[in-house]
A and B are shown apart, each in its own frame.
Chain A
């Protein structure tokens, strides 16, 4: 029978199945400081050891500061944050890991940037992490999703996860993306269409010619936001782009195993005729650069659009949500998106902090300067290696000359656990993934955009169509 990619990945990891509940084997466990301390403590209290240490790759990212690194750990002003980062180091020292990139290591960074960059994420793997954006790794033809801390402990203790098979959804994007239209815009356009609950209960496979033409960075951006569509897992079939990216990375299969691995990886696609429980289609040509206007990623319109009016709401519940969103965002219905002025810009996060993202933003910012009303424009590379690469290409100088701040890697203002945050009422063009109330700081107003659109907004001082800007 023709199988979907999800079926292949799931079925090949089933250890045991009973009444529709399966125990699936986990190949890679990514660990960070925020969702792991209680799991390690649980192991300690029960006298358990990790089942397979070589599956664990850890780094500190959520809490780490993006400046003041010359002072080392002492530079982390918040003692609670510092303790959490130190606790991760203590736990890895006690329990072990295949690799650990601690705070300030040259390879430290956002766990979803570090994993792929190290070759620690491979096609065909099951990948978990105590972080919802683990869906990112599905870009490699892997089954990857976020888990809670109890499950982090469960995977450490047993190398398995208790799972029920999800329904499958295929999201087909055919055609050619226009200039200035990125994977981020595809992700936001999809969420605008399906809603943030549209993917609940599903594993999504992104397919179609527009998806195949995306780079690995673009595919990671797209799969990263599967969770914003409600799906725990997003994935894309393996092709030459995947294999070329994986080749030669530190943890990728070496000479003698490489060919066998590639032969297997080439089977990781949905078979012709495989059936999905749901299919959603979009035309790539119809997708414009997107900007969110509200407090949920589904509150999104194209750059030439306006804040929608209440008569467009589909029901009473949505009317209520939109009214609260107008008030929180300080926006009135029918305001053209291009007339919204911004205070801050954030280029970074596990969605958009890879080298390609920084190149795209730098290309827009080059030779220009941020507008006088921009109080702060941050560029936070996804990892130490991305930062080094960008500096080698001179991107840091382009950003600095344009008035941006060039920071150290980490999650930073995506969730504002460290000192990088919005003040109440501040409005931000952000390349991150969530525009929830308070996400980037209490009272902060987030508009999600692509790196190109964020850089253009920084220069203009308000949202602007990057296609007319360049």
Chain B
């Protein structure tokens, strides 16, 4: 996994609450057995006017000019600003894969769905929770100012706006450590394999039916 430390990035606003993972990456694209290549189909049903299927040449499809991420001012955005309960619904990790492949490294919202939130960290992405008031402020600023960029510093746990406002955010210490160092969870857990074996032996003795 690539480490995440700091990011100076263009912000794109997606002004909706409860954006679900079906919207982030529709089901027909989940048939892929690969982990990459989902970016062109991120938000497929909102982004294009025609129906998308795997294997289509997306450059030839009809773009929905009203969808915010299609606006020229947000091209190249790496920070997605959105509303509460982002990523609700299905556990599909294809959702963060699609967002990451699209170019987003940071997502800012007033809350996230638990599984999606967790999945982001496994892919070198940082979901940031800020209060609804701060999110409102950022929405106002990003829509008012073209080329609106913010600075995200994971080490300092801060978001800094162009006008110099600094917002602190919370992040779990373990997840922060893994993200800053690009650590692979499996490798870390394998360091505990003796403990896993000891636990497993005791567990088997207490509840042998679980091991039948």
Contact = CB atoms under 8 A, between A and B. Distances in A.
Interface string A69-85: 00000000010110110
A434 B32 contact: no
B85 interface: yes
A394 B31 CA distance: 35
Contact of B207 (A63, A83, A261): A261
Contacts of B199: 15, 25
B115 interface: yes
A437 B22 contact: yes
Interface in A54-91: 54, 62-63, 78, 80-81, 83-84, 87
Contacts of B30: 34, 62, 417
Interface string B47-81: 00001001100000000000000000000000000
A148 B33 contact: no
Contact of B119 (A25, A63, A150): A150
A327 interface: no
A163 to B, nearest CB: 9
Contacts of B115: 132, 145-148, 227, 232
A108 interface: no
A150 B93 contact: yes
A315 to B, nearest CB: 9
B27 A35 contact: no
A162 interface: yes
A439 B209 CA distance: 39
Contact of B17 (A80, A134, A317): A317
B31 A200 contact: no
A436 B196 contact: no
A45 B7 CA distance: 30
A324 interface: yes
Given A78-B31, A84-B33, A196-B85, A154 B26 contact: no
Contacts of A93: none
Interface stretch (A122-130, A177-185, A300-308, A399-407): A122-130
Given A122-B210, A196-B18, A415 B27 contact: yes
A130 B192 contact: no
Contact of A162 (B54, B84, B189, B195): B189
Interface string B173-197: 1100000000001100110110110
A372 interface: no
A438 B22 contact: yes
Interface string A441-465: 0100000000000000000000000
B194 to A, nearest CB: 10
Interface string A370-394: 0000000000000000000000000
Interface string A153-196: 11001111010100000000000000000000000000000001
Contacts of A149: 35, 93-94
Nearest to B90: A132
Nearest to B187: A46
A333 interface: no
Given A150-B123, A151-B119, A160-B189, 20 more contacts: A19-B174, A35-B91, A48-B186, A62-B30, A81-B31, A131-B91, A148-B118, A148-B119, A148-B122, A158-B189, A158-B190, A162-B185, A227-B115, A230-B85, A320-B15, A324-B16, A417-B31, A436-B89, A438-B23, A438-B45
28 contacts: A20-B173, A23-B195, A38-B35, A51-B196, A80-B31, A87-B33, A122-B210, A131-B91, A147-B91, A148-B96, A148-B118, A148-B122, A149-B94, A157-B189, A158-B186, A159-B200, A160-B192, A196-B85, A197-B88, A200-B114, A252-B209, A298-B18, A320-B16, A417-B31, A436-B23, A437-B45, A438-B26, A442-B45
7 pairs of A and B residues whose beta carbons are closest in the complex:
A253-B209, A150-B122, A148-B93, A37-B33, A197-B85, A148-B119, A146-B91
